[in-house]
Chains A and B, each alone.
Chain A
Amino acid sequence: MEQTESFWAFINQQSDKLWSQTWAHIGLTMISLIIAILVAVPLGIFIARKQKFSSTVLGFAGVLQTIPSIALLGVLIPLLGIGPKPAILALFLYALLPIIRNTYTGITEVNPAVVDAARGMGMNKWQILTKVELPLAFPVLMAGIRTATVINVGVATLAAYIAAGGLGEFIFGGIALNNSNMILAGAIPAALLALVLDFLLSLLQKINLKAIKIRFVILPFLVILTSSFLMLPTQIGGRMLGGFTPEFMGRQDGYLGLKKVYKTNIETVVISDAVMYKAAFEKKLDVISGYSTDGRLKAYNLITLKDDKHIFPPYYAAPLVRIEVLKKHPELEKILNMLTGSINDSTMTSLNFKVDQLKQSPEQVATDFMKASGLYKPSKNGSGGTIRIGSKIFGEQYILVQMYKILILGNSNLTVETKTGLGGTKICFDALTNNQIDFYPEYTGTGFLVLLKPNQKTIEALNGSKEGVYNYVSKEFLNQYNLKWLEPIGFNNTYALMMRKDQAQSLHIESITDLTKHLNK
């Protein structure tokens, strides 16, 4: 009941956004579909005539169909940038196969005696095509178009990943923010859209084509095509374009805070984390939301802007350990704290770069780093007990786990068991409290916002202070969970706004305040 009410409240509150996303969704679907029809129907007719090309053409369209949508969008970005263009092209490619195949099947399945009779009575090729073959193939052809429509409505949600808008913005934002109202606000209209379009096309399927002149068929197509372009989000005349993940867009410690605290007035598009950095590098975007120690910062020569008004809470990494383990192995705390102060943001960024971009193994990267900073000691091959280290499922955590492993093995009689890849925060934390691991590297901001979920007043009181948040989580975790936060390692993997280095330097932008000033000029 409450759920339903809050859903309607959400819809009401976000109705502007919902409409613009729905229109964009329809626009993307219809444009790609109509272009696909204009290409695929003649192609289907062609291969029905020249059968020797049929397996090649159908095979090629089939291969296009098997490319994962995200991969296809990624491939298209260097060619077409971000926004509606690559989305339409991708949707167009996905719509080809069902339409080509059904046109081909429909025409080849026309009774040859009927075509023979048509020829024998003196119809020319065009008359046979338009009066006999297409009308008889029409139901099958339309079935293909309906399939393509439903596929396109579904795939068009992914357009949100590359800043083309559509209902995917709500869906992926909702997933990232764990906001089911937001997911439903995108998913329900998308499903309805698929049903409605399919229903309208089913009405069209029943039309007897023999009575209709071909030009009357093409005309409404062009009308829909042109009007669909008007539904797309208007692109972007401002001097700077921000590309933010759906998650960032919906967070207080994200875009909402940016608007509220800095009053930053920047034109934005929603885009996936997977393509965002590259899009910034290729100058399709000017400002992006990323993580401050992401290896791609280095790979794409981006810099982070200083958060001088502290809207992004500190996410300092530190080992989160069960008290019992520290009691049992008192030497452990000192060993784990040996890493303190040795890794700052840019060090972590370049370590991540080696793993994520250069594809070196986390073990190798950790060993190299420990040797270079004098922390490496060969393993003592001890037998004094086993320490189980957990990690979440991304590169930075893998590196940290390896570093801790080296420290423990080299400085104690303990042995180590690593349990990497424990999914997200929730899984790691549950494993720790249920005595399945002994410690894992956690971030103060995550512990604060995700695990403790403090009220707004507490958040504001701490005002993003590094020490404040650390002290708060240390105290609360000890009280509530009997867990101890050891010393922070030193780097802060938080949200950050990023720009291309050369652009930021030439505009003298170092902080978010600088950016806001520049935008308000």
Chain B
Amino acid sequence: MIKVQNLIKQFSNSPVVNDVSFDVKEGENLIILGTSGCGKTTTLRMINRLIEPDSGHIYINGTDVKSQQPEELRRGIGYVLQNHGLFPHYTVLENIAIVPKLLKWKDEDINKRATELFGKLNLDSSLRDKYPSSLSGGQQQRVGVARSLMVNPPVLLMDEPFGALDNLIRISIRKEFRVLDELVKKTIIMVTHDVQEAFEMGDRICLMDKGSIQQIGTPEELLFKPVNDFVTDFFKEQRLQLELKSVLIADVMPEFPSHKNETVWDKMDQLLSYNNADPGEGQINLEKLMTAFATYRKVNYGAN
């Protein structure tokens, strides 16, 4: 779906993005992860040509992005920013109607689609005629996402979309978006510096440092098969938690297929809650789960 080849970008003679290449399959969530200044945002912004690369190519559906006018290209790609970027002088409805209006949609179509998205994104319809400044941070970010989804673009670029939210709201909105059908079927490239977020949202993670990709792969691959010390060190602090969150029951206890899509973390969480009744014979209990996870870890590290 998206193919990025040998991107190079320099700002005042220092390389910011240095020979970056990756592919994103249709419907996949690719997270570009890294500390600030690693080139992740620059990489993202080159995809919708907000920044032009010095060299390299980007193809969307096999078409070089350079073959299109940048404005036209961008109208077909959803774009969500950290600070939502809502127009303060436009109402919520006017804000989400910007791209449809650029594409000359009829008002009734805009209204219909807006109503649909308001429902899906849990936005109260009374907010339509309000100005962004009177919305909460979470509402603003939902409107920002709604705006990027209005014309149902196949590709969505998200630059730290939850970065401006406080922790509690961030976690709950993330959970919600993870299962939102509009987002699930999209091809998404999302930039973040938050490791938890990357592991929760990403099908694959592209870890960058100093303008180069250090490793690209599934969360488990990054954890259990790090290609260099940078990757190992990057996750060191939160390794156990990340492992628990990324390993599925299916990986450690394949004998329980009814739980296969739950993570070890979720299961633990459930078993540890104090009002939880004893799961009973023949069910997963805490000891079994921990033993199986420890074995899985040993095997996987051994293989490395």
Chain A interface (Cβ within 8 Å of chain B)?
A: 111, 113-114, 116-124, 127, 132, 135-136, 208-210
**Please, which residues of chain A bring their CB within 8 A of the CB of B85?**
111, 113-114, 116-118, 120
Shortest Cβ distance from residue B134 to the other chain A in the assembled complex, whole angstroms: 16
Are A210 and B89 also in contact (CB < 8 A) when A116-B81, A121-B74, A123-B102 are?
Answer: yes
Q: Which A residues are CB-close (under 8 A) to B98?
A: 118, 121, 123
A199 CA to B147 CA, complexed, in Å: 38
Partner of A121, one of B79, B83, B84, B88: B79
Across the interface, name the chain B residue whose C-beta is closest to A135. B89
Q: Which of B43-93 contact A (CB under 8 A)?
A: 48, 50, 70-76, 79, 81-90
Report whether B89 and A208 are in contact in the complex, using a CB–CB cutoff of 8 Å: yes
Q: A117 touching B79 by the CB < 8 A rule?
A: yes
Across the interface, do B79 and A120 meet the contact criterion of CB distance under 8 Å? Answer: yes
Q: Tell me whether B206 is interfacial, beta carbon within 8 Å.
A: no
Tally of B interface residues using CB under 8 Å: 26
Residues on the B chain within 8 Å of A208, using CB: 89
Q: Using CB atoms, name the residue of chain A closest to B95.
A: A117
A114 & B88 in contact (Cβ 8 Å cutoff): yes
Contact B99 A114 (CB under 8 A): no
Chain A residues, Cβ within 8 Å of B89: 135-136, 208-210
Residue pairs across A and B with Cβ atoms less than 8 A apart, 8 shown, are: A111-B85, A111-B88, A113-B84, A116-B81, A122-B73, A122-B74, A209-B89, A210-B94
In the complex formed, the residue of B with least CB distance to A120 is B79
Q: Find out whether the CB atom of A210 lies under 8 angstroms from the CB atom of B90.
A: yes
- Chain B residue numbers with a CB within 8 Å of A121 are 74-75, 79, 98-99, 102, 147
What's the nearest-Cβ distance from chain B to residue A262, in Å?
A: 66
**A118 to B147, alpha carbons, bound, how many Å?**
11
B74 touches A117 (CB 8 A): no
Closest to A115 in B: B85
Minimum distance in angstroms from A138 CB to a CB of chain B: 9
A121 CA / B48 CA spacing, docked (Å): 10
Determine how close the nearest CB of chain B comes to the CB of A283; give it in whole angstroms. Answer: 55
Q: Measured between C-beta atoms, what is the minimum distance from A431 to chain B in Å?
A: 66
B75 to A, closest residue via Cβ:
A122
Contacts A113-B81, A116-B50, A116-B81; is A122 near B86 (CB within 8 Å)?
no
3 shortest A-B CB distances, which residue pairs? Answer: A117-B85, A122-B75, A122-B74
Q: Tell whether, in the assembled complex, residue A122 and residue B50 are in contact, meaning their CB atoms are under 8 Å apart.
A: no
Q: A120-B50, A121-B102 are in contact. Are A114 and B87 (CB under 8 A)?
A: yes
Cβ contacts under 8 Å, B99 to chain A: 121-122
- A118 to B98 Cα, complex, angstroms: 9
List, in ascending order, chain A residues with CB within 8 A of B102's CB.
121-123, 127
Contacts of A113 in B (CB 8 A): 81-85
Other A-B pairs, 14, CB within 8 Å; known A117-B87, A124-B71: A113-B83, A117-B85, A117-B86, A118-B98, A119-B74, A120-B79, A121-B75, A121-B79, A121-B99, A122-B70, A122-B74, A123-B71, A132-B87, A210-B94
Q: Which residues of A contact B71 (CB under 8 A)?
A: 122-124
Chain B 163-183 interface residues, beta-carbon cutoff 8 Å to A: none
Residue numbers in A under 8 Å from B94 (CB-CB): 210
Cα–Cα distance between A375 and B76 once the two chains are bound (Å): 99
Which of B84, B85, B102 has the largest number of chain A CB atoms within 10 A? B85
Residues of B within 8 A of A114 (CB): 85-88
Q: Write the chain B residue with the least CB distance to A119.
A: B50
Query: In the complex, are the beta carbons of B90 and A120 less than 8 A apart?
Result: no
Contacting residues, chain B, for A123 (C-beta < 8 A): 71, 98, 102
Within 8 A of A (CB), among B135-149: 147
CA distance A113 to B83 in the complex (A): 7
**Considering the chains assembled together, what is the distance between the CA atoms of A127 and B83 in angstroms?**
21
Which residues on B sit within 8 Å (CB–CB) of A136? 88-89
- Nearest residue (CB) in A for B76 is A122
Min CB gap A211→B, angstroms = 10
In the assembled complex, how far is the CB of residue B149 from the closest CB belonging to chain A, in whole angstroms? 12
Q: How far is the CB of B57 from chain A (nearest CB, A)?
A: 21
Point out the residues of chain A lying under 8 angstroms from B83, CB to CB: 111, 113
Q: Which residues of A contact B90 (CB under 8 A)?
A: 210
The docked-state distance in angstroms from the alpha carbon of A124 to that of B98 is 12
**Closest-CB distance, A119 to chain B (whole angstroms):** 6
* A118 to B84 Cα, complex, angstroms: 11
Name the one of A118, A119, A124 contacting B87, with C-beta atoms under 8 angstroms: A118
B contact residues around A135 at 8 Å (CB): 89
Chain B residues within an 8 Å CB radius of A132: 87
CA–CA, A123 and B90, complex, Å: 15
Please give the distance in Å from A118's CB to the nearest CB on chain B: 7
How far, in angstroms, from A136 to B86 measured CA to CA in the complex?
12
Partner of A120, one of B48, B87, B88: B48
Contacts of B75 in A (CB 8 A): 121-122
Q: How far apart sit A135 and B87, CA to CA, in the bound complex (Å)?
A: 10
Bound CA–CA A135/B82 (angstroms): 23
The winner among A114, A120, A136 for most chain B CB atoms within 10 A is A120
Contact with A along B215-251 (1 / 0, CB 8 A): 0000000000000000000000000000000000000
Cα A114 to Cα B89 in complex, Å, equals 10
**Min C-beta distance of B147 to chain A, whole Å:** 8
Give the CA-CA distance A209 to B147 in the complex, in Å. Answer: 22
Chain A residues within an 8 Å CB radius of B79:
117, 120-121
CA distance A123 to B71 in the complex (A): 6
Residue of A with least CB distance to B79? A120
Q: Residues of B contacting A119 with CB < 8 Å? A: 50, 74
| Most central of A111, A113, A136 by chain B CB within 10 Å | A113
Minimum distance in angstroms from A236 CB to a CB of chain B: 49
| A123–B147 alpha-carbon span in the complex (Å) | 14
Rounded to whole Å, the gap between the CB of B161 and the closest CB of chain A is: 12
CB distance from B223 to the nearest CB of A (A): 33
Complex: chain B residue closest to A208, CB-CB: B89
Contact with A along B111-152 (1 / 0, CB 8 A): 000000000000000000000000000000000000100000
Evaluate contact between A120 and B72: CB separation under 8 angstroms.
Answer: no
Task: Looking at the assembled complex, report how far the CB atom of A125 sits from the nearest CB atom of chain B, in whole angstroms.
Answer: 9
CB pair B88 A122 closer than 8 Å: no
A208 to B157 CA separation, bound complex (whole angstroms): 31
Distance (Å) between the CB of A139 and the closest chain B CB?
10
The smallest C-beta distance from A503 to any residue of chain B, in angstroms, reads 63
Task: Give, as a whole number of angstroms, the nearest-CB distance from A381 to chain B.
Answer: 79
Are A120 and B81 in touch, CB under 8 angstroms?
Answer: yes
Quote the shortest CB–CB distance from B222 to chain A (angstroms): 29
Instruction: Looking at the assembled complex, report how far the CB atom of A217 sits from the nearest CB atom of chain B, in whole angstroms.
Output: 16
- Report the minimum CB–CB distance from A405 to chain B (whole Å): 74
Distance A174 CA – B221 CA, assembled complex (angstroms)? 91
B126 to chain A, nearest CB (A): 21
Distance (whole angstroms) from the CB of B60 to the closest CB of chain A: 14
A94→B297 CA distance, assembly (Å): 77
In the complex, A127 Cα to B99 Cα: how many Å? Answer: 12
Residue of B nearest to A124 (CB): B71
Give the chain A neighbours of B84 by CB distance below 8 A: 113, 117
Bound-state CA distance A344–B55 (Å) is 90
Shortest beta-carbon distance, B225 to chain A, in Å?
Answer: 35
Residue among B75, B76, B87 having the largest count of chain A Cβ atoms under 10 Å: B87
Closest Cβ of chain B to A232, distance in Å, is 38
Task: Determine the residue in chain A with the shortest Cβ distance to B83.
Answer: A113
Tell me the complex Cα distance, A132–B94, Å.
12
